[in-house]
Structure 1
Amino acid sequence: MRAAYRVLALLTAVGVVIQVAAIGLDGFMLNSDARDGVTVDSSYSNLGQSIHQLNGNILAVVVLALLVVSFFADVPSGRKLAAVVFGLVVLQIALAVLASGAPVLGILHGINGLAIAGVASMAARRASNAPALATSG
């Protein structure tokens, strides 16, 4: 189970990297489309935005799985780290929703994403460095 914990934590950190790349793509595509005269309204979407939304949903499932697996994996502080990642993801979703009405919260959304990657990376390292379980018999 420690290996599953490690993989889920790593997938979370890599997922955040994908999120950063996707939102960067979104910004540059939006700028390019606006320059080209594309109407940017509430129905506007581009590849970067779509990837960011889809990957965000996938990340939520991965982080929920990490939290569940943490109860069965023998990782030092594993449950605590998984719970922190889960809490940060809940905050991330709330910030995304609230930023629609108050765009300045997008700053916190970006910073919180980096925190998710950092804590998930720490969790993966803990799983890698955890001593093997002693077996009797």
Structure 2
Amino acid sequence: MRQTYRILAGTIAVLVVVQAAMIAYAIGGVFTWIDAGNTLDKSVIEGWDENPPTFEGSLGSFLHFFIIGTVVIPLTGLILLIISFFAKVPRGPMLAGIVFIAIVVQYLLGTFAAATGTPLLSLLHGLNAFIIFSAAVMASRAAKSVTESPPTPSEQAA
């Protein structure tokens, strides 16, 4: 269980990095699309359901918003929280709880930022990603330190 806990926590940290890369890819694609003479306005955004974007990087936007951020990270965080009660990692449930709460806050910040068009919430959304990443790394390291057994007396003498 400790190994599962460690892998899940590490996976969340990696997914946060991948998600950040995907949004950077998407924004770069939008800028290139605009440089090519296209216009990004409200009608384009509202029409994305019927006429999805074709700019390079649009897949990054989809992965960032819908797959990784809405499904994969929250589900992995919930599984980490459940596993934490059985993994016998020191401070494991507390660290998993911090990770999960930060993920919930992240989802809410992203949702409200999009719904209200409030740039400050987007800023907090980006900053909260660092909290998720850091807490996930701390959780992974807590499990790793437990799995490493201290050297036996015969190993110390050698």
Partner residue, 1:69 = 83
Q: Aligned ranges for residues 33-72 of structure 1 at < 5 Å?
A: 33-40=33-40, 41-42=44-45, 43=48, 45=53, 46-53=58-65, 54-56=67-69, 57-72=71-86
- Residue aligned with 1:51, SS: helix
Question: Which amino acid counterpart does residue 27 of structure 1 have in structure 2?
Answer: I
C-alpha separation in 2, matches of 1:37 and 1:12: 38
Q: Is 2:20 aligned against 1:4? A: no
Question: Which amino acid counterpart does residue 71 of structure 1 have in structure 2?
Answer: F
Q: Aligned ranges for residues 1-137 of structure 1 at < 5 Å?
A: 1-40=1-40, 41-42=44-45, 43=48, 45=53, 46-53=58-65, 54-56=67-69, 57-100=71-114, 101=116, 102-130=118-146
- Which ranges of structure 2 fall in alignment gaps of 5 or more residues? 150-158
- Contact 2:2/2:147 (8 A) holds in 1: no
- Residue aligned with 1:130, SS: helix
Q: Which moved more, 1:116-125 or 1:40-49?
A: 40-49
C-alpha separation in 2, matches of 1:93 and 1:106: 11
Q: Which has the larger radius of gyration?
A: 2
Query: In the TM superposition, what whole-angstrom CA distance separates every residue of 1:78-128 from its partner, at most 9, and x where no partner exists?
Result: 000000000000000000011111122111101100110000000000000
1:48 CA displacement:
1.3
- Which ranges of structure 1 fall in alignment gaps of 5 or more residues? none
Corresponding residue pairs, total: 133
Q: Which moved more, 1:72-81 or 1:101-110?
A: 101-110
1:68 CA displacement:
0.5
C-alpha separation in 2, matches of 1:111 and 1:132: 32
Query: In the TM superposition, what whole-angstrom CA distance separates every residue of 1:65-87 from its partner, at most 9, and x where no partner exists?
Result: 00010011010000000000000
C-alpha separation in 2, matches of 1:36 and 1:103: 26
C-alpha separation in 1, matches of 2:86 and 2:148: 14
